[in-house]
Structures are given as C-alpha cells and as structure tokens.
Amino acid sequence: MTILSFHSVSKSYGDHQILEQVSFAVHSGNRAALVGANGAGKSTILRLIMNLEEPDEGEVSLINGITIGYLPQTLKTSESISIRQYIYDAQKELHVLQRRMDELTDIMTTAKGTELTASLAEYSRVSSRFEQRGGYDIEYRTRLVMEGLGIGNLHEERRLATLSGGQQTRVGLAALLIETPDLLLLDEPTNHLDAQALNWLENYLSEYPGTVLMSSHDRQFLNRTVNLIIEVDD
C-alpha cells in the first residue's frame, strides 16, 4: 500500500531550482532514505510532505487518516516548555483515545441493547488503535527511549531552552519515537548522537511498527537501517 507519493513535483526559491519533476513513492512499512548532496532538496522534500511549503508544480499525496511525526534539523520550541510537557504534548492522539475509552467504559455500565452493541464495537476499534500506537506500554517505552538516546538523566521538569542544541534534538527525537506516528520523517537524525545512541537507534528503527523516511549523510547508518534509497540528484 502506497502511504506517500510525489507526482512530478517542482520547487524553486527565486531563480534557484531545487526540485524539478520529482516523482517517487513510499509504501507502508518501508524504511526509506533520501540521499544527495547538501542543497539537493532533501529537507525541502520533508517540508513539502509536512505541508510547511507548497510545491510550484506537481502533487504530494498522503494516504488519508495517518499520523505524521517530523524531526527538523533544528528543534523550535517554546522558551518555557519542560521536557515532560513536550513529550506529553507529542502524544495527543493517545490522550484522545484514552479519554474516549474511559467515556465508553462509563457508557457501557448502563447501556443496553443497540446502544451497548454500538459502544462495544467502538470500544474495540478505539482500544485496537490505542494498542497499535503503543498506549498500553507508554511509560515503559518512554524510559526505554530516553535511556537509549542518552538523555534519561535529564530532569523531566527542566526547560528545553536550557538544553544544548544536541540535547534538544535528542528530546525531539525521543518524543517522536514515543509517539509512534504512522509515518516518521527524520531530517539528519544522527547529527547529535554518539556511537552508543546511534547503535540503539539503528536497532529501534529496525523494529519500528510504522513507515520511516529520513535524510542522512551517514551511509553506514543507512546501510543498516533502510530498505529503500531515494537519490536526490542536484
């Protein structure tokens, strides 16, 4: 199943042509990598997918109903937000699903007949999605990811603004991995990782339940993590 596709997409900044008639597709479950020289348009492709920019020509298509997580090269956050709040905010869909499960549980305590049948059916759908997104093991996964990326020692109430750029990027990556979106977009995720965190990320992505599209200059990392290479030729 195709989860993402570009159809003859072109993008320019003034007189500078970045992308010209670009077409490719990413299927569900792919671990895909954008490779190419600096300035070839890899980051632009990710921003187009996120609808942060509009193509001059062509079409970017995404399958309906999917969740998307995006890690830019530089994380932009509120000056006052804490690590705990940032990670909590990244799990918005899980919170919505949890609230609906609680509501349905209350309804089912008194419902009868067709109302009970409908509530049971909806609860089954909602709880399946909650499980698919990792809602039942969220606390364990949070500890696992934070420790794996080497930031488990940071106090959860510490403000992101007080962290180094590298630490901020790791927190941003951690929030996305914990969120577990259907499509994970990563722009140079290895830039601020040491060897231990890099090895952990390779293993984690190999078991990631969704689809991954990332840009990276680390060919060794890509060789061990992806099954699809999309070369952006400048």
pLDDT, one tens digit per residue, over 115-144 is 999 999 999 999 998 988 788 888 888 999
Interval 28-63: pLDDT, tens: 999 999 998 888 899 999 999 999 999 999 999 999
Q: Is 119 helix (H, G, I), strand (E, B) or coil?
A: helix
Joined tokens for residue 19: 């992308």
Joined tokens for residue 50: 């996120």
Kindly report the number of other CB atoms within 10 A of residue 190's CB atom.
20
CATH number of 1-66+184-192+200-234: 3.40.50.300
Joined tokens for residue 126: 């909602």
Identify whether the C-beta of residue 230 lies closer than 8 Å to the C-beta of residue 37: no
Distance set, CA 31 to CA 65, 215, 226 (Å): 20, 11, 5
Alpha-carbon Rg for the chain in angstroms:
20
Reported CATH class of domain 77-181: alpha beta
Domain ranges of the chain: 1-66+184-192+200-234, 77-181
Q: Is 150 helix (H, G, I), strand (E, B) or coil?
A: coil
Joined tokens for residue 63: 């399958």
Enumerate residue ranges in the chain where pLDDT < 50: none
Please check whether the two domains, 1-66+184-192+200-234 and 77-181, share a CATH topology: yes
